Amino acid sequence: MKQLIEQFQQSLAALDRVKADALFQEALATMAPIQAVEQLVVPSLEHIGAAWHRGDLALSQVYMSGRFCEALVDGALPPSDPDRKHQPRSAIVVLSDYHDLGKRIVYSIMRASGFELFDYGRMDVDQLVERAIADQLRVLMISVLILPSALKVKQVCSRLKERGVDVKVVVGGAPFLFDAQLWQDVGADAMGSSASEAVAIVERLMGAMQ
């Protein structure tokens, strides 16, 4: 399995879609789709995310890997499949600004890891708070690129708290990478320093909620 994971990671980093597909099919020949996702796709994407955080891989490779894996996993584990992880009720959003690459990457990687979640697109604070309450979210992932948007997370967190909503807020994006203290300053519950960290964070939060 270790060799398969290494080969799969390499094919993703090289954007070799054909080889990645062949390796995924090889995994499917010996295990259930959800096992192939958890044992092959998730660790590979974690590795790719960590390599980006260290500066060893580029964002374009992370984005394309996420897209490839999302398509592979959709083929083996369609959204309606009962093995898909619909809990905790989660959503992802770009808050306030208009830069959505980070959100797209996290969304793809979450789905490639077997999760189903709402994609809210871009929203302002008021709209986001109302929607999060209406959807009874347990985890809200917020992606931003610019500092003013990152600072607006504070309003989202305090408004949700005022309304007595039990939702965990996970943030990610450039301002949080450049200031390691910022996610706590804005009242978030966690910060993902790469897209694949979002998966580990949601799994951790899910464990704590059970």
Partner 1 sequence: MNAITMTSMQRTLTALGHQEADRVPLFLLTTLHGAKELNLSIEDYFSRFENVVEGQIRLRQKYRSDCLYPFFYASIETEAWGADTLFLPDGPPLCGAPIIRKAEDIDRLESPSVPDCAGLAKVLKTIGALKAQVGDTVPIIGVAISPFSLPVMQMGFHSYIELLYEQPQRFERLMALNEAFTVSWANAQLAAGATAICYFDPVSSPTNIPRDLYLRTGQQVAKRTIAQIKGPTATHMASGRCLSILPDVAQSGTAVVGVSALEDLGQVKRAAQARVSLLGNLNGIEMRRWTPGQAEHEVKRAIAKAGRGGGFILGDNHGEIPWQVPDQVLLAIADAVDRWGRYPLNWIDEWVRTHGP
Candidate ranges 86-94, 113-121, 141-149, 162-170; the one touching partner 1 (CB under 8 A): 141-149
Nearest distance from residue 98's CB to partner 1, in Å?
A: 5
CB contact at 8 A, 114 and 84: yes
Nearest distance from residue 3's CB to partner 1, in Å?
A: 24
| Among 206, 180, 205, residue whose Cα is nearest residue 193 | 180
Give the single-character DSSP code of 98.
S
Candidate ranges 25-33, 76-84, 123-131, 144-152; the one touching partner 1 (CB under 8 A): 144-152
Query: What's the rounded Cα separation, in Å, for the pair 165 and 20?
Result: 41
Candidate ranges 40-48, 116-124, 132-140, 181-189; the one touching partner 1 (CB under 8 A): 181-189
Q: Which is nearer to partner 1, 177 or 206 (CB)?
A: 177
Query: What's the rounded Cα separation, in Å, for the pair 60 and 68?
Result: 12
Query: What's the rounded Cα separation, in Å, for the pair 138 and 123?
Result: 18
Measured CA distances, 40 to 49, 60, 144 (Å): 14, 21, 29
What x-and-dash track marks residues 101-130 binding partner 1 by CB under 8 A? x--x--------------------------
What x-and-dash track marks residues 11-50 binding partner 1 by CB under 8 A? ----x-----------------------------------
Does the CA dihedral 82-84-87-92 come out positive or negative? negative
CB contact at 8 A, 166 and 172: no
Among 146, 165, 200, 205, indicate the residue that binds partner 1 (CB under 8 A).
Answer: 146
Candidate ranges 57-65, 74-82, 118-126, 128-136; the one touching partner 1 (CB under 8 A): 57-65
Sites for partner 1 among residues 149-168 (CB under 8 A): 149, 151
Helix (H) / strand (E) element for 55: namely none
Sites for partner 1 among residues 60-99 (CB under 8 A): 60-61, 63-64, 97-99
Instruction: Report CA dihedral (89, 94, 99, 101) to the nearest 10 degrees.
Output: -10
Tokens for 1, please give them: 């399995």
Residues forming a β-bridge with 93: 142
Nearest distance from residue 95's CB to partner 1, in Å?
A: 13
Q: Give the interface with partner 1 as residue ranges (CB under 8 A).
A: 15, 55, 57-61, 63-64, 97-101, 104, 146-149, 151, 174-175, 177-179, 181-182, 185
